[in-house]
Structure 1
Amino acid sequence: MRYDLIFITTALLCLLVGETLGIHMGISQDFTLVPAHVHLNLLGWVTLAAFGLMHRAYPALGASRMALVQCVLAIIANIAMPAGLALMLLSANHDPTLVKYASLAVILATVLFIIMFVRKVALAKAA
């Protein structure tokens, strides 16, 4: 599977949505969603693009049995976190439940990526 393309395509979509949200806030002069906008650009665009570029630089990462799980978890979590922030900021009760669980999932996806990198790249025997 081409994890590099999956991550980078998803990152580009996050960038587009983040930019659109930023433009909307600028036009409307309502900056309530700034934290969600920032997290979408940093988590969605930067983090997912970095994962994609790492997969491109080190194709052995895609051979890991964890690669699919890490990819799905990273994409869902890195989108759910800013979405949860937006819901929390817009709702009357400001429930942070989605933000909390998505944040933990972001960390788990990163830990899985680190494990994959160490096993498949850093500790790999030179051929």
Structure 2
Amino acid sequence: MGKQCLKIAAVYFALGMLLSVIIGVSDDYSLSPIQSHIHLLGWTTLGIIGLIYVAFPALSATVLARIHFWIHNIGLPLLILGIIGKNHAIAEAEMWVVTGWVLLAASVMLFMVNVWDRLR
């Protein structure tokens, strides 16, 4: 799972940088919260988790690691879509934001349980 986390983190990094360029060129800073969440929860968080999984292979060889990976990568895009929706006053966007945050929190809890259970 470490390599998968690092690969998807690189994708989030590229998306965040692309969005940074768009923000800078357009001078539209309403997209800054989206860019910040992509960088922090996508690039930084998954990158660090990927490095942890590579450093401690026993952590990445679990079902919890796979579930964590998928829940995180479903929750983050939902959160991003929700923030975009809120920026455009879409009524259902709040549900997307809440669902995204709940999934992200669940993925962090799974990661924590995995670390506490497997790291000896």
TM-score (norm 2): 0.91
In structure 2, the gaps of 5 or more residues are: none
Query: CA, structure 1 residues 95+83, in 2 after alignment: closer, same or farther (shift >3 Å)?
Result: closer
Q: Is the 8 A contact 1:11 1:46 kept in 2?
A: yes
Superposed CA RMSD in Å reads: 1.5
Task: Calculate percent identity across the aligned residue pairs.
Answer: 23
User: Given residue 4 of structure 1, which amino acid in structure 2 is its aligned partner?
Assistant: G
The equivalent of 2:37 in structure 1 is: 39
Q: How does 1:70-89 map to 2 (within 5 A)?
A: 70-89=68-87
Q: How does 1:19-34 map to 2 (within 5 A)?
A: 19-34=17-32
Deviations 1:16-48 (A, max 9, x none): 111111111111111111111111110111111
The equivalent of 1:18 in structure 2 is: 16
Q: Is the 8 A contact 1:66 1:116 kept in 2?
A: yes
Q: How does 1:60-75 map to 2 (within 5 A)?
A: 60-75=58-73
Query: CA, structure 1 residues 26+102, in 2 after alignment: closer, same or farther (shift >3 Å)?
Result: same
Deviations 1:60-99 (A, max 9, x none): 0122232211111112212322232122213454731111
Alpha-carbon distance between aligned partners in 1 of 2:92 and 2:62, rounded to the nearest angstrom = 39
Length, aligned pairs only: 120
The answer to whether the aligner puts 1:7 opposite 2:5 as a matched pair is yes
Larger radius of gyration: 1
